[in-house]
Structures are given as C-alpha cells and as structure tokens.
Amino acid sequence: MHEAQHEAIARWERRWMAVMGALLAVLVVFIVYSLAVEGAHIGQRAQRGTPQDLTRLEMFQSPGVMETAPGQFRVSVVGQAFSFAPAVIQLPAGAEVTFFASARDVLHGYHVAGTNMNIELIPGEVATWKYTFREPGEYRVSCNEYCGVSHQNMVGTIQVLPAAEYAALREQQEAAAAGVGDEAGVASVALGEQVYASNCVACHQATGQGLPGVFPPLSGHAANLYAADGGRDYLLNVLLYGVMGSIQVNGATYGGVMPGWAQLSDEQIAAVLNYVLASWDNAGRVEELPYAAADVAEKRETALTPDQVLALRGQLDLE
C-alpha cells in the first residue's frame, strides 16, 4: 500500500476515535451530573434467592406500608403480571420511606412519575432504596419493562398526604380493620374495599367493569358465579390460586391472567369477596357477607394450579 493512502486512513481513524472519546466524555458528564446534582441513586440489592422464597418473606406476604419508627416508613411491593401489590400506597409527606421490592414472575419496572424513582424489579432479587416525598399529591406508578400482553395496564398510585391528614386516615383504616371478624366471624366490607383498592382495582377497575378482552367484569358476573353450583368454592379458589386461560363472560372472550392472592390473609380474601359481592350489579343478589376467614383457611388445604382452577370453571353451569 502507498504510504499516502495509509496516512489518509490513519487520519480518519484518529478523527473517529476522537469523536468516540468525546461522546464517552459527554456520557460520563451526564452520569456524574445526575448522581451529584439530581441526587439519582441506584436501587441496592438487599437479598437474593428464588422468587418463591423471596415472595414468601414476611414483608411480601402482606406487602404494603408499615411505620417502623415515628416519621419512618417501610414499603414493600411485589410486581407480578400485570399488577403491583399493593397498587395503591398512601404515605405522609416528609417521611423517610424505605422501599423493598421484588417480582414474582418476570422482570417488571417500578417507575414513579415526577420523581427519580425508576427501579427494575427482578425475580429472585429484592431491591431497596430510600425516598422522601416532599410534596403531597398523587404520584403515578407504572411498569416500564415490557412484561406481556397487558403490560400497559400495570399501573399503581402513591398518594402522598399532609402528615395530619395521613394520621387521621390511618386511624380510620385501623378502626375498619378492627371490625374484621365481628360476631359471626364474617369479614367486613370496609376492609374488603381497602383490599380491592390496593390489589384489584388496576385490572377490574373501580366500576367492577374490567377491561374488554383482558380483565373480565366483576359487576353482575361475580354474583352469577356465586349462584352457580360450585361457584362459592370456585370464587375462593380463583382468589387463592388464580386462573389462567381463555374464558367467556356474557359472550365476550377474556385472555388475561388472574394471579393467585394467597399472600393476602384469610380475612383479607374473605373481605374482598364480600366487598365484590356487595357492590355494583352484584348488590342484593347474594346474602350479606357470605364469606368468613375460616372458609379461606379451609380452601388453602387443597392447593390448585391456575389450570386446575380453569377446569373447575368449566364445570360450573353458568347461564
């Protein structure tokens, strides 16, 4: 090769390397800037293990908000296709919040709009990070890792209340929870409403109408299921073990996945069923508060797979 040609190529190579070097420098500046100025921090890995073991940890058995010390809160969150448990989190403004989060099935994201929180939820890992919400308001949470057909519906809310308002609300909720298991041992609708708002509303909606093609309606349909022969047990099994596969409701086909909610307590499951059966078009069609915690405990003894639950559904004679 001629010396001149060689020199020309080498010149272009040096220019190219300079451009790459400059690009790298710019990226490093961005990273340093976001760490130092914006206060970005990276979720730390708190624990590793199989997803099954991790979601069996006490804090993920009943995920949610816990006050660990005055002004300090712990939030535990589990991501699963296609919801966060809990979907709605209430916190006081100004409190130091430590989050712990993991995923039950596949990779999910935990992105809180208007903050620098954007955490990857990895099955088999517990991520932890700290955050303080200074401003009261509603913060939208969304999953930002594609996780399946209904990824776009995987959303949640963090409601940040002024501290005094939060304390009052907390008192009310504790009073409602204390109403659980009154004389007859039935689970309260007030508790059920909370459970629904935290876990079910993202898919089945506040109206109980669900979403076409993915999440079946509960309004009217839950009462139909309850009325069918075997329907009372079927509803318990759906809540505990989930159901997977294509189903028909009122002539429409639904292909979403209902995850099992065995991590909720017996009271919570009984309460949310009672709430659903007392709401919307189900109201008045079912005796008052049909489920008690003991009914749920009994169903836990026979573990089913979501496919088996689907098969049970096929045996119901739904009109």
When binding is defined by CB under 6 A, the residue of 147, 197, 201, 271 that contacts ligand CUA is 147
Residue 30 binds to ligand CUA (criterion: CB under 6 A)? no
The C-alpha atoms of residue 7 and residue 256 are separated, in whole angstroms, by: 63
> Would you call the peptide bond into 217 cis, given omega within 30 degrees of 0 as the criterion?
no
CB of 156 to ligand CUA, least distance (A): 11
Query: Which of 150, 141, 19 shows the shortest CA–CA distance to 85?
Result: 141
Q: Which is nearer to ligand CUA, 30 or 146 (CB)?
A: 146
Q: Give the DSSP H/E element, type plus range, for residue 249.
A: strand 247-249
CA dihedral 300, 253, 200, 149 (to 10 degrees): 100
Residue 154 binds to ligand CUA (criterion: CB under 6 A)? yes
Interface segment toward ligand CUA; rule CB under 6 A; list 138-146, 174-182, 286-294, 304-312: 138-146
CB of 50 to ligand CUA, least distance (A): 19
Place of tokens 């049909």: 290
Q: Please state, in angstroms and as integers, the Cα–Cα distance from residue 111 to each residue in 62, 138, 155, following that order.
A: 21, 14, 9
CB of 111 to ligand CUA, least distance (A): 10
CB of 74 to ligand CUA, least distance (A): 23
Please list, residue by residue across 41-64, b when 16 or more beta carbons sit within 10 angstroms of its beta carbon and e when fewer do: eebeeeeeeebeebbebebbeebb
Interface segment toward ligand CUA; rule CB under 6 A; list 68-76, 130-138, 145-153, 299-307: 145-153
Residue 108 binds to ligand CUA (criterion: CB under 6 A)? yes
Q: Which is nearer to ligand CUA, 121 or 225 (CB)?
A: 121
When binding is defined by CB under 6 A, the residue of 62, 136, 145, 224 that contacts ligand CUA is 145
When binding is defined by CB under 6 A, the residue of 111, 151, 232, 285 that contacts ligand CUA is 151
Residues in the interface with ligand CUA (CB under 6 A) total 9
C-beta neighbour count of 242 within 10 angstroms: 20
Residue 127 binds to ligand CUA (criterion: CB under 6 A)? no
The C-alpha atoms of residue 223 and residue 73 are separated, in whole angstroms, by: 38
CB 289 within 8 A of CB 227: no
Q: Which is nearer to ligand CUA, 109 or 216 (CB)?
A: 109
Q: Which is nearer to ligand CUA, 261 or 275 (CB)?
A: 261
CB of 151 to ligand CUA, least distance (A): 3
The C-alpha atoms of residue 273 and residue 289 are separated, in whole angstroms, by: 8
Residue 143 binds to ligand CUA (criterion: CB under 6 A)? yes
Site for ligand CUA in 34-93 (CB under 6 A): 79, 82
Residue 146 binds to ligand CUA (criterion: CB under 6 A)? yes
The set of residues, in sequence order, having a beta carbon less than 8 Å from that of 145 and lying 6+ positions away, is: 107, 108, 109, 120, 121, 151
Residues in contact with ligand CUA by CB under 6 A are: 79, 82, 108, 143, 145-147, 151, 154
